[in-house]
Amino acid sequence: MLLEEIKKFLLEDSVNRFLKYVQVWTTSDEFSLSTPSTENQFELGKILAAELKELKLDNVIHDDYGYVYADLPASRGLENVKRIGLIAHIDTSPAVSGKDVKPVIHKNYGGETIRYASNKNITLTTEDSPILKEYIGLDIITSEGDTLLGADDKAGVAEIMTACAAWQKYSELKHGPITICFTPDEEVGKGTLNINKQRLPEFCYTMDGSEMGELEFECFDAWKASITFTGLSVHPGYAKNLLINATHIASRFLSEIPEQESPEHTEDREGFYYVPRLKGNVEEAETTITIRDYREDNNKKRMEFLRSLKDLYEIRYPGLKIDLQFEHQYSNMLRFIEKDKLVVDLAEKAIEMAGLEVIFHSIRGGTDGAKLSEMGIPTPNIFSGGSLFHSRKEHIPTLALQKASEVLLHLAKLWTSA
């Protein structure tokens, strides 16, 4: 059991770091060709690299791709135990603005409706987020409603940094060698694109999950379809049998996707198609379709459906050209992690040691851990504590920041005898 003094330190330090980090603008950009996708991600990386140096970690590097690496030396006498890695991403989702985040702490939450100072049109209730019922009496952090909060994944960043601070401050917290890695562009599927695999140990953990107690080692198999419709512009007054309106046809094409297989109509282990964008004009329209399922064969069926739809539409509209490209984004991590469950078993014990019930959860999305597991580094996902990610209603209890940091301290101790 951790001493109350250490728990108090974890709470204060993690909250202070989190409030600081969320105010740094790090939104990533799906359509950028730069690496990282946005220059502003470097700003948080600089801050983290400087703090890691202040904490006297070794080999601190902030590289040209925006990654931050550091090594925490082992406690005396534990230099030869197995090294582990702790990973979190610094970017936030481009779905909602992450610029000029103003975090607000709602003290001693009583179950009431939370209102936002900068957005009178939205509220946060227990209907929006039922887990709030479990947080009555706790302090809850939100934004002011004009931005997202950034708990995804600055909570994970803060929790890892706080654990490092605790290991340096309290010599009784024993641990083996630990590698820290903060990644850019996770939200746009490029978190491991330029990662230095040689800097990472045999086993890692991402801190990027939701509610307290969650442990995840299964995720979607993920594909992206990029579709370009090329038509022909003709004066609308003289267009009969000549005009090929690319945007109009693209809209019809997308309407063929089964509505029951959309995110708003699926849950649990049900897969989906998701259309995040459509843009264009008469001559050309572009869209992307996100394809997700836990089973790869189900995704193959969805891709075959889109191929058959392409062929049908090119027949239906003579002269129309449709370019359809598929990109595999990440695999279900389960088939890689289940080969060696030690990495999961120790995380389960660490969560229990922090006084939490372990919640095994399948991710309806993905993390850097999915790619790393496929690369041969089993990397399950531990909760960071936030809810309603990628929205203006995103929130996190301060207790979750403390508890996640506690889990890391227990986890490092468990690995010393693994």
List the strands of the sheet with 104-106, edge to edge.
Answer: 104-106, 140-142, 395-397
Spatial distance between the Cα atoms of 344 and 378, rounded to a whole number of angstroms: 9
Residue among 51, 152, 186, 261 flagged as catalytic: 186
DSSP 150-178: -HHHHHHHHHHHHHHHHHHH-TTS----E
Residue among 13, 51, 71, 91 flagged as catalytic: 91
Q: Which token pair is 25? A: 């603008």
Identify whether the C-beta of residue 332 lies closer than 8 Å to the C-beta of residue 219. yes
Element (H, E) at 307: helix 296-316
Identify whether the C-beta of residue 124 lies closer than 8 Å to the C-beta of residue 142. yes
Nearest to 343 by CA among 205, 218, 197, 164: 205
| 3-state DSSP assignment of residue 335 | helix
Tell me the one-letter amino acid at 106: H
Q: 152 an active-site residue? A: no
Spatial distance between the Cα atoms of 215 and 232, rounded to a whole number of angstroms: 52
Place of tokens 């120790």: 346
Q: 13 an active-site residue? A: no
Spatial distance between the Cα atoms of 90 and 310, rounded to a whole number of angstroms: 38
Spatial distance between the Cα atoms of 346 and 382, rounded to a whole number of angstroms: 11
DSSP 343-399: HHHHHHHHHHHTT---EE--BSS--HHHHHHHTT----EEE---BSTTSTT-EEEHH
Catalytic residues: 91, 186
